[in-house]
Amino acid sequence: MIGKFSFDLLLRICSAGVAVMLFAAVFAQTLQAASATPLAQVIEGARKEGTLRGQWSQNSFGGSAGLAEIVAGMNKKYGLNLKGQFTPGPDMQRLMLRIAQEAAAGQPASTDVYLGNSQAIFDAMKADVLKHVEWAGILPRPIPSEPGFDPVAPEGVAVAFGTAVVGILYNSDLVKGDDIPRRLEDVLKPKWKGRIASTPYAAGMREFAMSGILGREYVIEFTKKLSKQIGGLVRCGE
């Protein structure tokens, strides 16, 4: 549940069941993949770099304060003197598109590290714009895993650091009793027309369309109906 806002219902689908958030290192100058880099080489490279640039939403990973905390921790742990440079960025998909365009044009990337969801990482893999990293040789603790899920993306281009349960969020001051949505179809009721917010990038729909969940045809038809119900678009963090 969330506090008061302009829409009575907020359909916030950021992934199917869980949203996997991933961190990745972005190429600054080239599309060529970097070889696996031991921790000592990463530290030495950071010492020469001087600044770590990050770009994501202020609502993600603590925004500017979060990056400052990360950089301070890195400086203390590894004896560095890095400075953090944070720029509020567009949504994850649009930022990855920008990075891919910069790489194709031979331009430096807008950010040194990338914070994104699984779809954006998939797009990045097709464009080959993320560094290939041997995460096991860099991270101080083993990366937790479970059957059927590898937290490290193919070729080490990203590593998962968190998941989020998703669904329908609503204003508990305005939506009560039988009006509380308990199924996706509940947001299609006539009374909610124009009073729902969704995302511009249809977050979560691609995962719900998997054969083991709701299936492609169901999600396509549901999304068509939902598009006639929404009153505005917001990004997940809003």
Instruction: Tell me: do 29 and 54 sit in the same domain.
Output: yes
Note the pTM of the prediction, 2 decimals: 0.74
Q: Is residue 3 part of a domain?
A: no
Instruction: Tell me: do 186 and 218 sit in the same domain.
Output: yes
Q: State pLDDT tens for residues 196-217.
A: 999 888 887 887 888 888 999 9
Strands ordered across the beta sheet of 9-12? 167-170, 9-12, 196-198, 230-233
Instruction: Tell me: do 146 and 37 sit in the same domain.
Output: yes
Instruction: Tell me: do 86 and 67 sit in the same domain.
Output: yes
If you average pLDDT over every residue of the chain, what do you get?
A: 81
Answer yes or no: is pLDDT of 6 > 70: no
What burial letters (b/e) apply to 38-49, b meaning 16+ CB within 10 Å? Answer: eeeebbeebeee
How far is 207 from 106, CA to CA, in rounded Å?
33
